[in-house]
Structure 1
Amino acid sequence: MDFSKALPSYQVKKKNIVRLILFTATFALVFINIYQPFDVSNWFEISKLELFLYSSLVILTGVLVVVISRIIMYHRAKRGKHISIGRYLLSIAIEIICMSLFYTLYELIILHDPRTFEEAFKVSILNTALVLLIPYTVSWLFFAWMDNKEKLEALEEGDIDTIKPEVNGMVMFNDDKGTMRLSIKQDDLLYLQGADNYVTIYYSHQQKQEKFLLRNTLKKLEDTLKPLNIIRCHRSYMVNFRKVKMIERTKDGLRIKLNTQPLVEIPVSKTYTESIFQLFGQSY
């Protein structure tokens, strides 16, 4: 599995994040109280009511950890930051560790668990991983199914405009008739240059800069690509903001320098200066 691959966009949708949090909290509360993993009620000889109150407090804390983690992830994605599958899995591991730490402290401080910190923490890790990974896996499969269902319905209805330009980290470019002509990784996309009814797409491939000529206009591409932080900076140029290294003011005006070899410079017209600086400030 390629862990550097971009996380599917449906994983960082606001509505899907809310669904994940609610489903995880509900699943954890029901699972702990009904199935009592690892015979949790017998560890401390507590009643079912006490178990429910304890687990509710634990779940509330756990949900807070997930909420903070997902808010950070959502805003990173919104600013156009690359979120790889590896980084996503790492964030889940951090969530499990943080939640397990809270659970262990609850057991030792509130419930006066006689076990050592190491013993209690190991069991908390095991319980937390079990309670989190099941709803996370189910949610991932459900979100993927819903995303594919929406795309299929859009294709069947012939509604090209509803099909998103980004799928699993790939940017799709359609021609003026709505036919997909090119699909490349967003991390490989550099910039677009428009001339009349054609757009030249510049991208990196095997450490070389390549280009592809597409029959379309920058104006038509601008609205669909803007959510991906592929933005207009000039009447004739759009740039992938993930590749921006710096913005320099010269005697001829502002110029965007891309993080490429060889160095690529893109002019910025006065019309787009304010929006470029706003986006640059949010991203960096």
Structure 2
Amino acid sequence: MFQFLAQPYPREQRSPWRWLLTSAGSGLFVALFLLIFQPFGLAQWNDPVKPYLIAGYGLVTFICLTGVGLVFPKVLGNFFDEKNWTVGREIAWTLFVIIFIALGNILYSQWTMGNGFAHVLVWLSFTAAVGVIPATVITLLSYTRLLRRYATDNLQIEKHEPESVISRESGNITLTAENEKDSLTVAVDDLLFIESADNYSEVVFIQKDKVEKTLLRGSLSRFEEQIHHPDLVRCHRSYIVNLQQVESISGNAQGYKLQLKHHSVLIPVARRYGDRVADYFRK
């Protein structure tokens, strides 16, 4: 059981604006649901400002979701790093979010209705007990689906011929830095990968049977636009990889990992690029 909970699991990455929209949508849903159906005894609650107080639950949900989505990952950056994210952490995090929102709404109920602290503990315990089941089931179903998606049974490493003739008679590519002065020309067959390094990009290649590295100022997107070759593909926000240099490919729920010839680094494949890489190696 513990071994399963330690299995890698993808950490969903959302931009701040997307998370705010998600939080706002969730808060609006909660407010409308409670206003329309008035469950949990709300129908028997009589107060002149009742609609506004009920809508407050939606506001509390929005604030709680925004807090856990934007603040916690900033404060606990290493904990939320996808390299450290597991099935167990996903279940625990989902349950924590549920309890955090529940706590916010229960405290809001205490403030508006005057319920005692014992009432808070009872509802918090009830929320945790109920929430752990869907949190676990949803995570397990998602894990199984992702594991099947990134299975490598139907992938094989073999020599791929270029699909079209590209303007590279010499078999070389030239990468030009932002200042338009610095450049690097390297044979396609010798290029291993290009990695983002802040405002620079590190080009890793083979030269005279040795692994060499060169820093060029410029974003990975800039150099991606300079490359027009079917074997050289963007596979991650931080990597462009030469698929001809892949020695083996592995997969888990987080996606594919590429082991290159001549280098020990494992190149991650982001989920958005997974199909592209899989199509290249598909039997």
| TM-score of the aligned structures, taking structure 1 as reference length | 0.42
Structure with more of its chain in helix, by fraction: 1
Q: Which has the larger radius of gyration?
A: 2
